[in-house]
């Protein structure tokens, strides 16, 4: 069902990355700049991420011997240094996720570039190196994003949903590896219920949510795909949900043939396979359209 699967390391059947977007309370400040600081309940729900969930998640990764990727808005890096230090101590990747989770599509090209550069500076200060990857806040990859990422030397993007396996984004400026995921692997639809964030869903039981994520995994395992979970510490890191995640990780490891890796390692592997000719990725030429699509009769 996948015509050109990636040759994963050591003959693995699929690659798996549990990426965690540590948005913390950036979300409520962005949504309600005038009165966010009085929204104590929402702030407490979001601070659960860095304060309670991150230590729990890192302990799980340590126990299972996993290195993974955390996408963190730069504002959160500045405000939650302990969580960041703990991620780095565990050998995990910290990748770019905007400055304060701003929507790139709301800004001009220059504004988008400004926030991208500010985020890079903060990550460099915190980690000692430039970020290799980016995920657009709320998947808001704009028609300038690929060019700006290429200009700033990013190795990969993880915002788009165009395939089951890595592929290439090509623009007039160069190219970039896309490590895709999709809403079926995101924890907002099954779990998030917040009037302050204007996102009200019927909260699913953890076993039901995991059932969906696991079905995606089984298909990727069968067909050589890339399984990228887009989860959030304040959402999936809550007790019953994380307990269910631990069961899922245990199942994946017991099944075997699964390459757990941070996205930077997956991107580097894909790049090597492209260079040695063992992988021919699909290419998306961007932008998809140069002019608005006319629907006038």
Task: List residues near Zn ion by CB under 5 A.
Answer: 21, 23
- What are the helix (H) ranges across the chain? 26-31, 40-48, 54-64, 74-79, 81-89, 109-127, 145-151, 188-191, 206-223, 233-236, 239-255, 263-275
Question: Smaller CB distance to Zn ion: residue 192 or 268?
Answer: 192
Least separation, in Å, of the C-beta of 45 and Zn ion?
15
Indicate the residue among 21 and 225 with the shorter CB distance to Zn ion.
21
**Distance from C-alpha of 95 to C-alpha of 84, rounded to nearest angstrom:** 11
Smaller CB distance to Zn ion: residue 97 or 269? Answer: 97
SS3 20: strand
Distance CA 57, CA 220 (A): 24
Rounded CA-CA distance 65/60 in Å is 8
CB of 101 to Zn ion, least distance (A): 6
Q: How far is the CB of 196 from Zn ion (least distance, A)?
A: 15
Q: In the complex, what is the shortest distance from the CB of residue 128 to Zn ion, in angstroms, rounded to a whole number?
A: 24
Q: Which is nearer to Zn ion, 8 or 187 (by Cβ)?
A: 187
The DSSP 8-state label assigned to residue 186 in this structure reads B
CB 214 within 8 A of CB 248: yes
Helix (H, G, I), strand (E, B) or coil at 230: strand
Nearer to Zn ion, 8 or 134 (CB): 134
Which of 19, 171 has the CB closer to Zn ion? Answer: 19
Nearer to Zn ion, 21 or 178 (CB): 21
Question: Of 155, 110, 147, which is closest to residue 129 (Cα–Cα)?
Answer: 155
Distance in Å, CB of 19 to Zn ion, minimum? 10
In the complex, the smallest distance separating the C-beta of residue 230 from Zn ion, rounded to whole angstroms, is 8
| CA gap 259, 263 in Å, rounded | 11
Q: Compute the least distance from the CB of residue 54 to Zn ion, in Å.
A: 15
- Residue 143 CB neighbour total at 10 angstroms: 15
Sequential DSSP letters for 115-179: HHHHHHHHHHHHHSS--SEE--GGG---TTHHHHHHHTT-SEE----S-SS-EEEEETTEEEEE-
**What is the separation, in whole angstroms, between the first and last Cα of the chain?**
39
Question: Is the Cβ–Cβ distance between 122 and 94 less than 8 Å?
Answer: no
- Least spacing, CB of residue 119 vs Zn ion, in Å: 13
Tell me whether residue 13 or residue 241 sits nearer to Zn ion (CB atom): 241
Asked if the bond preceding 219 is cis, omega within 30° of 0, the reply is no
């Amino acid at each position: 069902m996948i015509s050109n699967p990636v040759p994963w390391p050591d003959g693995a059947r699929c690659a798996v990355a549990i990426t965690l977007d540590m948005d913390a309370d950036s979300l409520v400040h962005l949504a309600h700049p005038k009165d966010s600081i009085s929204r104590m309940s929402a702030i407490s729900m979001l601070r659960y991420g860095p304060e309670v969930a991150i230590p729990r998640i890192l302990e799980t990764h340590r126990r299972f011997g996993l290195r993974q990727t955390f996408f963190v808005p730069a504002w959160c890096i500045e405000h939650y240094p302990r969580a960041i230090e703990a991620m780095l101590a565990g050998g995990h990747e910290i990748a770019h996720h905007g400055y304060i989770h701003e929507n790139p599509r709301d800004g001009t090209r220059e504004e988008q570039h400004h926030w991208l550069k500010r985020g890079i500076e903060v990550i460099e200060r915190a980690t000692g190196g430039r970020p290799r990857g980016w995920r657009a806040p709320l998947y808001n990859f704009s028609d300038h994003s690929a060019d700006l990422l290429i200009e700033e030397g990013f190795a990969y993007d993880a915002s788009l949903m165009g395939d089951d396996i890595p592929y290439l984004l090509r623009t007039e400026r160069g190219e970039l590896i896309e490590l895709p995921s999709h809403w079926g692997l995101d924890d907002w639809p099954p779990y998030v219920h917040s009037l302050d964030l204007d996102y009200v869903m019927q909260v699913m039981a953890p076993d039901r949510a995991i059932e969906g994520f696991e079905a995606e995994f089984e298909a990727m395992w069968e067909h050589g795909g890339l399984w990228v979970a887009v989860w959030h510490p304040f959402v999936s890191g809550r007790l019953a949900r994380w307990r269910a995640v631990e069961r899922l990780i245990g199942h994946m490891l017991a099944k075997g043939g699964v390459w757990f890796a941070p996205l930077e390692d997956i991107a580097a592997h894909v790049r090597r396979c492209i260079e040695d000719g063992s992988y021919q990725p699909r290419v998306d030429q961007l932008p998809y359209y140069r002019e608005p699509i006319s629907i006038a009769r």
